Amino acid sequence: MSQSTKNDMSWSKWHMRLHKRLKQNKSLLPINSKLLLAISGGQDSMALLKLIVDLKRLYEWQVEIWHGDHQWHTKSAEIEEELKLWCLNRQISFHSNKASKEEVANEEKARNWRYKNLLNKAKLLSSNNINFPCTRILTGHTATDRAETIIMNLARGTDLVGLSTLREQRNLENNIDLARPLLIFNRNETLEICKEFNLPIWIDPSNENINLTRNKIRKEILPILNSIYKGADSRIASVANRLESYTKDQQSLAKIAIEFCQGEEINSLSRKKLIDLTNSSRKIILSNWLKMLGITRVTALQIEEINTKISQDKPPGTIYLHGDFLMRWDKNIIYISKKTH
């Protein structure tokens, strides 16, 4: 990179770190791409916006902003208007959606609402110019978010897949990927970025509500860990990086094993073939098979329970799973179906 380019865009150690990561993983944010950034106005998303906008000329990106108003507090509309004005004053395209109370009634619904609207906006941007589609949706997740999720999943009783959470990049639909370029930074560093470049930060009061699980971990548990071991959040997050490649290998092998154990229909497995495998292999196959069928919220304890109940000499039975799914088995076959009401 030339010195003049660096000077023109306020080049800093933060820009350099992200630039190096993008050179290491060229598929994360490809050159000459249309990017849709999810911006709440908080410190993480504003740090993301600053770095991406500064790097866009170098990488020939087109940058679009999306903001989701959950209407969880009285100042949400004010935050949206101020953020919109801030973006438009800098010639940054701004889009937004407002949620109904029902759409964001809990953390899971709110997350689903955000990704649904982000995906719809990316598709609309693509349809407006089919020769230059929007192929990346960016969020401001940091290493600290990753650490929080690992702690939360551990407490729930996750398997190894749950520990390799918040991947840097994953496919959402067709050619649209979700990218998290700030996983190389922790939350203290995004605050430093905002201070260094005098960026505005809009505080969402709902982030202070410790009745929400993630906020409780953020406000009470992680600070204790960081006080005992400085930088604990970044080191916890690095566990996910190390497990990610292991998980990919495990999933590839599980896919082959699932094909071997497949029943006559995709929603069935041969109980006899499963029983002939080792105890740990059965649990890996069951976990990956359920995820393939769209049953994602299954804990390690549930997999253990299922594995025990379908083992040799156990009678036919049923287990109810998250999302109105029912697992039942007879002497020979294990089936998954939707519960009837």
- Per-residue pLDDT band for 9 (boundaries 50, 70, 90) equals low
Cβ contact 274:312 at 8 Å: no
Count of CA atoms in the C-beta half-sphere (13 A) of 20: 9
Please report the sign of the dihedral spanned by the C-alpha atoms of residue 295, residue 301, residue 303, residue 306: negative
| Residue 341: predicted pLDDT | 59
The string of pLDDT tens digits covering residues 62-94 is 999 999 999 888 889 999 999 999 999 999 999
Cβ contact 236:147 at 8 Å: yes
The span from the CA of 311 to the CA of 198, in Å, is 61
The span from the CA of 147 to the CA of 191, in Å, is 17
The span from the CA of 28 to the CA of 182, in Å, is 11
Beta strands at 134-138 and 34-38: parallel, antiparallel or unpaired: parallel
Q: What CATH number belongs to 262-338? A: 3.30.465.60
Residue 117 CB neighbour total at 10 angstroms: 19
| Residue 3: predicted pLDDT | 45
The predicted model gives 108-120 an average pLDDT of: 93
Residue 119 CB neighbour total at 10 angstroms: 17
Please report the sign of the dihedral spanned by the C-alpha atoms of residue 6, residue 10, residue 16, residue 20: negative
The string of pLDDT tens digits covering residues 36-59 is 999 999 999 999 999 999 999 999
Q: In the structure encoding, which two tokens stand for residue 281, read together?
A: 């292999």
pTM given for the model: 0.76
The predicted model gives 194-223 an average pLDDT of: 88
| Residue 211: predicted pLDDT | 77
| Residue 5: predicted pLDDT | 46
The predicted model gives 148-170 an average pLDDT of: 82
| Residue 163: predicted pLDDT | 75
Name the residue ranges covered by the structural domains of the chain.
3-236, 262-338
Place of tokens 């009837």: 340
Q: In the structure encoding, which two tokens stand for residue 216, read together?
A: 């409780």
| Residue 55: predicted pLDDT | 96
- Per-residue pLDDT band for 2 (boundaries 50, 70, 90) equals very low
The predicted model gives 204-228 an average pLDDT of: 86
Average pLDDT over all residues of the chain: 90
| Residue 65: predicted pLDDT | 97
Q: What CATH number belongs to 3-236? A: 3.40.50.620
